[in-house]
Amino acid sequence: MIEYRNLRVALLGGGSVGAQVAALLLEHGDELANRSGAGLELVGVAVRDVEAERTPAIPGHLLTTDAESLILGSDIVVELMGGLEPARTYILQAINSGADVITANKALLATHGPELFDAAEQVGAQLYYEAAVGGAIPIIRPLRDSLAGDRVTRILGIVNGTTNFILDRMDVNGDTLEGALATATELGYAEADPTADIGGYDAAQKAAILASLAFHTTVPLESVYREGITEITAEQVDAARKAGYVVKLLAICERIEIERDGRRTGEFGVSARVHPALVPAAHPLAAVHGANNAVFVQAEAAGDLMFYGAGAGGLETASAVLGDLVSAARRHVIGGPGVAESTHANMAVLPISSVRTRYQITLKVVDQPGVLATIASLFSEHGVSVEAVSQSVSDGKNVELPTATLVIVTHEATEASLATTVAALGGNEVVSAVVSVLRVEGL
- Which residues are marked as active site? 206
CB of 80 to ligand NAP, least distance (A): 4
Nearest to 442 by CA among 312, 311, 306, 308: 306
| Residue 411 touching ligand NAP (CB under 6 A) | no
71 is a site residue for ligand NAP (CB under 6 A): no
Minimum distance of ligand NAP from residue 125's CB (angstroms): 19
3-state SS track over 362-427: EEEEECCCCHHHHHHHHHHHCCCCEEEEEECCCCCCCCCCCEEEEEEEECCEEHHHHHHHHHHHHC
13 contacts ligand NAP (rule: CB under 6 A): yes
CA nearest neighbour of 104 among 178, 206, 2? 206
Q: Which is nearer to ligand NAP, 74 or 405 (CB)?
A: 74
- Interatomic CA distance for residues 161 and 384, integer angstroms: 34
In the complex, least distance from residue 195 CB atom to ligand NAP, rounded to whole angstroms: 15
Q: Shortest distance, CB of residue 214 to ligand NAP, whole angstroms?
A: 19
Asked if residue 86 has a cis previous peptide bond (ω within 30° of 0), the answer is yes
Among 7, 9, 10, 17, binds ligand NAP (CB under 6 A): 17
- With a CB cutoff of 8 Å and minimum separation 6, the contacts of 27 are none
Which H helix or E strand runs over 357? strand 356-366
Q: Is 369 exposed, middle or buried (0-12, 13-18, 19+ CB in 10 A)?
A: exposed
- End-to-end, the C-alpha distance of the chain in Å comes to 56
C-beta of 40: minimal distance to ligand NAP in Å?
19
Contact segment (CB under 6 A) with ligand NAP among 11-19, 22-30, 271-279, 409-417 equals 11-19
CB 93 to ligand NAP: min, Å: 13
Task: Please enumerate in sequence order all residues whose Cβ is within 8 A of that of 14, keeping only pairs 6 or more positions apart, or say none.
Answer: 22, 45, 46, 47, 54, 58, 63, 80
Out of 48, 55, 191, 257, which residue is the one contacting ligand NAP (CB under 6 A)?
Answer: 48
Of residues 71 and 155, the one with the C-beta less far from ligand NAP: 71
> Helix (H, G, I), strand (E, B), or coil: what is residue 78?
strand
Among 131, 180, 328, 349, binds ligand NAP (CB under 6 A): 131
Question: CB-wise, 52 or 282, nearer to ligand NAP?
Answer: 52
**Does 14 help bind ligand NAP (rule: CB under 6 A)?**
yes
Comparing CB distances to ligand NAP, the nearer of 67 and 371 is 67
46 lies in the site for ligand NAP, by CB under 6 A: yes
Among 67, 78, 355, 425, binds ligand NAP (CB under 6 A): 67
Is residue 313 a contact point for ligand NAP (CB under 6 A)?
A: yes
Among 111, 212, 217, 317, the residue binding ligand NAP under the rule CB under 6 A is 317
| Between 110 and 408, CB nearer to ligand NAP | 110
Closest CA to 197 of 247, 159, 162: 162
Close Cβ partners of 220 (under 8 Å, ≥ 6 residues apart):
208, 349
Task: Considering only the stretches 22-30, 313-321, 397-405, 411-419, report the one whose residues sit in contact with ligand NAP under the rule CB under 6 A.
Answer: 313-321
Residues in 80-99 at the binding interface with ligand NAP, rule: CB under 6 A? 80-82, 86
* Cβ 149 to ligand NAP shortest distance, Å: 28
Adjacent-strand bridge partners of 225: 273
18 binds ligand NAP (CB under 6 A): yes
Q: Which secondary structure element, helix H or strand E, spans residue 111, and what is its range?
A: helix 106-123
Residue 121 has φ and ψ, to the nearest 5°, of: -65, -40
CA-to-CA separations, 416 to 351, 355, 357, 388, 413, in angstroms, rounded: 10, 8, 11, 21, 8
Residues forming contacts to ligand NAP in the complex (CB under 6 A) are: 13-18, 46-49, 52, 67, 80-82, 86, 104-106, 131, 135, 312-314, 317
